[in-house]
Structure 1
Amino acid sequence: MREAWRWFGPNDPVTIEDIRQTGATDIVSALHSVPTGEIWPLDKISTHKKLIEQDNKPHSSLVWSVVESIPVHEDIKMGRDNHQRYVDNWITSMENLAKCGIKTVCYNFMPVIDWTRTDLKYQLPNGGYALRFDQQKFAAFDLFILQRSNAEDDYSVKELADAKLTFEAMSDEDKTLLTQNIIAGLPGKMTDAYTIDNFRDMLANYKDINKDVLRKNLFSFLSQVLPIAEQFGVKLAIHPDDPPRDMLGLPRIICTSEDLDILFTSLPSPANGITLCVGTYGSRPDNDLPAMAKRYGSRIHFAHLRGVSRDEDEQRSFYEAEHLESDVDMVSVISALLAEEKLRNGAEGNGEIFIRPDHGHQILDDLNKQGNPGYSCIGRLKGLAEIRGVIKALKANL
């Protein structure tokens, strides 16, 4: 496996020099300064690549191998009349990346928001901090802070009552922090920051878009992108919706094995693949991750190896757990990925899968540092070390 590390660019508190010390060999990155929908120019890609690779001769080598992500413009997701410009720009960006040797592209098709958490500093019993999604807090935000139109139709009588109690127990500071956590954007400008009013406006844009329409728009986009990806040897790796279910009245279409079966039956191109985000898929109890790793092995171009622990009484609530101590059998997942690599190496000789530790805990010296939520250095290094140990042990028995 190719051990990768996400880097958000020159402003990332975790530097390239830090990453070299982790033992990772590959970098996952993006041009966060380019506005969504605009072309990633060759010169900017080359400059970013040089930042990563320029000191490789005197030091251990790092290679920019995976893009996470080229954002997909909302007009593509909504199928608006002017969306073709953004499809063409996305394709040109992909071509320019391929010309620079970067041929694995992670992307997602989530409307309006990317991954969503209610708590960015959830304290663990050991004193460290993790990311958390609390369903009752989220419902309280949706119903009583956002006050989304007809939101009450999405909740049971008990859920409405619980959300009201949760909201009433919040201080003004709690409400402000919860709102910021949900709509204030993500590290590296992966999503824009919203105000409550323009967030409502963005949600309203999707009022007539259901799962079927959104899926049709995804397939229309991919039908144009995939032939060019094949031509340039690019592997596309769609990331699941996080959390993997409908939210805020928005449809989500990459959540389950059934969703992936529909995707690959409709678009069987070998360039059409997935990012196996173990934590995201694992936040649904009906997703069997070891089985999915086996079933979609040939489609896995990239993997986020992290796990979550779901609340016993509310399975939609979870926190980011230790990489090997979660509701997912990570050892079995890694075993399935290694078996897939063995099949690929037998057929082609170049079958290594890019993996990265994801959403590490904030622990030790990082407790006193300001970093991107979920992307502290030491917590991810701990996860990478654990994953590396599993890989070494399993390879010894293959």
Structure 2
Amino acid sequence: MRKMLFALLLGALLLNGRGAAVASGGAGLEGTVTHGGAPVASAVVQAGGERVQTDAAGRFQFSPFAVSGVERLVDVSVVAPRFGTWKLTDARLITDDTLRLTVELERTSVTRRQSPPRAKTQTKQTTQSPGSFSPSYSGSATGSVTTPPGVIRVWVTGSNVCDPNAKGTVVNVDFKQYVKHVLPHEWFASWPQEALRAGAMAAKGYGWHQVARGGKWPSLGADVMDSQCDQVYNPTLSYASTDKAVDETWNQRMTRNGAIHVAFYRAGTRDDGASYNNDIMYQWGTEYWARQGMTWDWMLQHYYENIVISATTDANLRLSAGAAVSSAAPTWGEPFRASFTVRNYGTQSMQLRELYVKLRGPGGQNADLGGDNNATSIAPGASRTIQVYTPALAAQFPRVYGTWTLTATYRDPGLLISPG
């Protein structure tokens, strides 16, 4: 069997497929309210004509809001005794998704606006500046290229406008939280999940590269800025869909010549999937290719030259036997069956969960063959055979001939992901 890609893919059997537990057609809104890191109880949160109160842990959650179309703009306010009023204008509630707010109250009132992501500009020009590192974008690395950094140093200016001379403060941010609070400010959260996964990989790769090289802004003592000089970082909000995309791809890395690839990207234009041979990914291109049925890893290979996508950790659970593919008859469209074996080469038992199998077509098409959710652990040295079946592949993809690659995606409790 040809090379298989193992990626982090969390199941959504009880969710809506975008990571948001909301009623179909509705939009969720939830979050936490704190001051100095401590929860603020009984704060009144108002949005879209509705109001709720925070619980003892500072958490709040609204019933799903009605949305006509893709999104609905609302203003959100938070009021609590002894604190100033916190406001967020133009908050975007997205159909079948949940907006997640992290509200930090202050003694004085604060008003913020949710700006549209970079992709809205629909331009092929970039604002990602060279920084104060010399030489710019060196491929040398001082940090790990196998394990994502734990912390990234962000020069926080509070503005998404690129100004290399902007005043700010260095804030040490958990790297995964950084990526989760970059993605919805760069990609539209309403886009298909494959586009968001591609964006998650790009946002992670860009930030990881800057940390690994010792920082893009050494004169500021920072790895990145919070603006379009690098990537827009806003700790106030994220979405269930964008958080899910980050989680799904977290244990994957993108390298070139053994170093973390600096994943430059630009907005691009609607319905344009061209790569222009400039080693830059276009955000609207990911949306276009997702609508064509392409996967996030295909998009990365399409836009970035000579990259390798591999696991961020050394997993011991991997495929030990190739796929045995057979057809009931040589006629295209007859039942397709495949089986393969997973073997645990490690010294500890591993539990294979939420395994999904797909066939990837010659043009990147995906045929979902189902999966296996066997909760029984695989003992060291033991194997398990997985069998999948589809009755008529041609019914989904008429006249698509060529080589189809079997792809398996899984998660285990240790989040150990391995390329086959």
How would you bin the TM-score normalised by the shorter chain?
A: under 0.3
Scaled by the length of structure 2, the TM-score of the pair is 0.26
Higher fraction of helix: 1
Scaled by the length of structure 1, the TM-score of the pair is 0.27
User: Which of the pair has more CA radius of gyration?
Assistant: 2
